Amino acid sequence: MSPALTAISNTGTAPLRFPHRNLLGIEGLSADEITFLLDLADSYVQQNREADKKSTILRGRTIINLFFENSTRTRTSFELAGKRLGGDVINMSVSTSSIKKGETLIDTAMTLNAMHPDVLVVRHPDSGAVALLSQKVNCAVINGGDGSHEHPTQALLDALTIRRRRGKLQGLLVAICGDILHSRVARSNIQLLQIMGARVRLIAPATLLPAAAERLGAEVFLDMRKGLKDCDIVMMLRLQTERMQGSFVPSIREYFHFFGLDYDKLSAAKPDALIMHPGPMNRGVEIDSEVADDIDRSVIREQVEMGVAVRMAVLDALTRDPAQRNAPHGK
């Protein structure tokens, strides 16, 4: 266990429960609410390392993983989280659903709602689709990633990973590098890190930065060495290969040469800077294999472990008080 763990137990300011019905994004969460989720997740990290990993908190509850976009990691992580808490988990993916037969998103939501699930975990390729769906159902909805908008559990698991290693988020300098334009992970992380008092830098070629990137409160850099200077944390983003040929960046070799994380570029960051990646990695595209596998610097596998704990915490928090489910949507 990290020696830092003792330093991060309840600050005393965190609320005793999570006051929201859904987790649609990081936007709108307070530092206390985030701290509450991270503290709760911390306790599940321990549970997940025991031989008997199962509890009964979600016994009798139904969780539906509704994935309109391919995913192995996130879906498995949510599935494990639900099962370890004793819930019944059902996976629905787009290829087996009636979406392909022309059913609209809202019809799907109404149909599923009629089956009385307790939690819907939804991933959708369109930004805003998960929020739309949440308005039509009575149960809690967790955003498992919507388009290029938000991926809140990823940001939470990143925060947990950092907090366990560094003891805090406040005051850290975090670089998020790569395909910011298309990344929901980046949008959730930019918000969470800033809410928690960290400073954020965005590093990318100009074609992979959103038009108003500097309005997100982060510093923007077009050069890795300049942007990584003095950073505590280096978060790499996945570059989707369908965006490689000529449209956004001209080639893999050029991208790797200027924006791939290797030891040379990493040397600009603090000597003990941590390397993170939401996965799945493209080795030799956005990250050099040696760096990705560096056991002293890379916490990429730890992120996966934290992912299950964070999702258990979110499922727990959203199902604790059934009365909440009938409360009006919102904060």
Partner 1 sequence: MATKLDAGGANGHARVAYVNARLIDPAAGLDAPGALLTEGETIADLGPDLFKPGVPEGVATVDCKGLYLSPGLVDIRVQLREPGEEHKETISTAGAAAIAGGVTTMVCLPNTEPVIDDVAVVEFIARRARELKRAKVYAYAAATRGLKGKDITEMGLLSEAGAVGFTDGVRAIADAGVMRRALSYSTTFNALIVQHPEEPSLAGMGAMNEGEVATRLGIAGIPTAAESIIVGRDLRLVEMTGGRYHVAHVSTAETVELIRRAKAKGLSVTCDTAPPYFALNELAVGDYRSFAKLSPPLRSEQDRLAVVAGLADGTIDAIASDHAPQDQDSKRLPFVQAECGGIGLETLLALSLELYHNKKLGLIDVVRRLTEAPARILGLKAGRLEKGAPADLLLFDPARPWVVQERAIRSKSKNTPFERRPVQGMAVRTVIDGRTVFQAAA
The binding track of 280-299 with respect to partner 1, each residue x by CB under 8 A or -, is: --------------------
Kindly state whether residue 4 participates in binding partner 1, applying the rule CB under 8 A. Answer: no
Restricting to residues 220-239, name those near partner 1 by CB under 8 A. Answer: 222-223
Kindly state whether residue 144 participates in binding partner 1, applying the rule CB under 8 A. Answer: no
**Helix extents (H) in the chain:** 31-49, 73-84, 105-113, 129-134, 152-166, 184-195, 224-228, 252-259, 263-266, 289-292, 300-319
Question: Are 181 and 248 contacting, i.e. CB atoms less than 8 angstroms apart?
Answer: yes
Kindly state whether residue 60 participates in binding partner 1, applying the rule CB under 8 A. Answer: no
Nearer to partner 1, 249 or 306 (CB): 249
From the CB of 185, what's the least distance to partner 1, in Å?
A: 22
- Structure tokens that stand for 280 in this block: 């799945």
Cβ-based neighbours of 70, under 8 Å, separated by 6 or more? 93
* 3-class secondary structure, 222: coil
Kindly state whether residue 254 participates in binding partner 1, applying the rule CB under 8 A. Answer: yes
Kindly state whether residue 240 participates in binding partner 1, applying the rule CB under 8 A. Answer: no
Kindly state whether residue 245 participates in binding partner 1, applying the rule CB under 8 A. Answer: yes
Q: Which of the ranges 16-24, 106-114, 229-237, 243-251 carries the binding residues for partner 1, by CB under 8 A?
A: 243-251
From the CB of 128, what's the least distance to partner 1, in Å?
A: 24
- Structure tokens that stand for 79 in this block: 């599935």
| Total residues found in the chain within this entry | 331
DSSP of 90-153, one letter per residue? EEEEGGGSGGGGT--HHHHHHHHHTT--SEEEEEESSTTHHHHHHTT-SSEEEEEEETTTB-HH
Question: Are 316 and 153 contacting, i.e. CB atoms less than 8 angstroms apart?
Answer: no
Among 12, 246, 280, 328, binds partner 1 (CB under 8 A): 246
Q: Which of the ranges 86-94, 229-237, 246-254, 296-304 carries the binding residues for partner 1, by CB under 8 A?
A: 246-254
Nearer to partner 1, 120 or 208 (CB): 208
Report how far residue 216's alpha carbon sits from residue 188's, in angstroms, rounded to the nearest whole number. Answer: 11
Among 36, 67, 68, 248, binds partner 1 (CB under 8 A): 248
Kindly state whether residue 250 participates in binding partner 1, applying the rule CB under 8 A. Answer: yes
Kindly state whether residue 251 participates in binding partner 1, applying the rule CB under 8 A. Answer: yes
Q: Which of the ranges 9-17, 192-200, 204-212, 315-323 carries the binding residues for partner 1, by CB under 8 A?
A: 204-212
Report how far residue 238's alpha carbon sits from residue 259's, in angstroms, rounded to the nearest whole number. Answer: 12
DSSP state of 276: E
Cβ-based neighbours of 78, under 8 Å, separated by 6 or more? 63, 65, 89, 121, 142, 144, 153, 311
Kindly state whether residue 257 participates in binding partner 1, applying the rule CB under 8 A. Answer: yes
Q: Which of the ranges 12-20, 71-79, 242-250, 317-325 carries the binding residues for partner 1, by CB under 8 A?
A: 242-250
Among 4, 7, 106, 206, binds partner 1 (CB under 8 A): 206
Q: CA 70, 158, 269, 172: dihedral to nearest 10 degrees?
A: 150
Nearer to partner 1, 81 or 236 (CB): 236
Report how far residue 195's alpha carbon sits from residue 189's, in angstroms, rounded to the nearest whole number. Answer: 10
Nearer to partner 1, 65 or 282 (CB): 282
User: At residue 120, what are phi and psi to the nearest 5 degrees?
Assistant: -110, 125
Kindly state whether residue 13 participates in binding partner 1, applying the rule CB under 8 A. Answer: no
Nearer to partner 1, 254 or 321 (CB): 254
From the CB of 250, what's the least distance to partner 1, in Å?
A: 5
- Structure tokens that stand for 24 in this block: 């649609």
Report how far residue 231's alpha carbon sits from residue 237's, in angstroms, rounded to the nearest whole number. Answer: 16
Binding site for partner 1 (CB under 8 A): 205-207, 222-223, 245-251, 253-254, 257-258
